[in-house]
Copies of this chain bind each other. A is one copy, B any other.
């Protein structure tokens, strides 16, 4: 196995100016990933688009992977923010309402930046792998917590299995809806898909 390149910043941005530089670099990386694809994403190009020199880039990011990892982390954090707040909102709702809400949120989350999501999903470099796993684990445990406190509404079923299946299903439907079918889908179609997915999951749980 190959040694993985470092991911931690070489130095922390302290002053205002340097924080802006770091931001510009991450933003540029995301934009190039979307607009030109992973292969075309070179450090020289990133620096160019960010309006920064390669030298400065390497002051804050020890490797190209570190930059991509930063993009992944930012994107994941954005999504996790939504998921976390939604799951607390939903905590007191009955299963039917809660699941419907989760399905909606899953699709919304995938719509934040579908192209970036696609590129990250397709081309996850080794660097981002850990982040994504942590992400999955957190979603899993949040959903499981909800199930635990709503056990009475549910039939007898292993909670881990239920969580695994439900999360996989909702994620897959959202992913495929937004990415595979793109704009082919009318709003009405999307609503039907959400209704039916909700129905399936709810029917499954009780």
Contacts and interface: CB of A to CB of B under 8 A. Distances in A.
A158 B200 contact: no
Number of copies: 2
Interface string A136-178: 1000000000000000000001100110110011011100100
A186 interface: no
Contacts of A171: 172
Main SS of chain A's interface residues? helix
A93 B164 CA distance: 28
A125 to B, nearest CB: 8
A94 interface: no
A20 interface: no
Interface in A172-206: 172-173, 176, 180, 189, 192-193, 196-197, 199-201, 203-204
Nearest to A36: B2
10 contacts: A122-B123, A122-B124, A136-B180, A161-B193, A161-B196, A165-B193, A165-B197, A168-B172, A168-B176, A203-B203
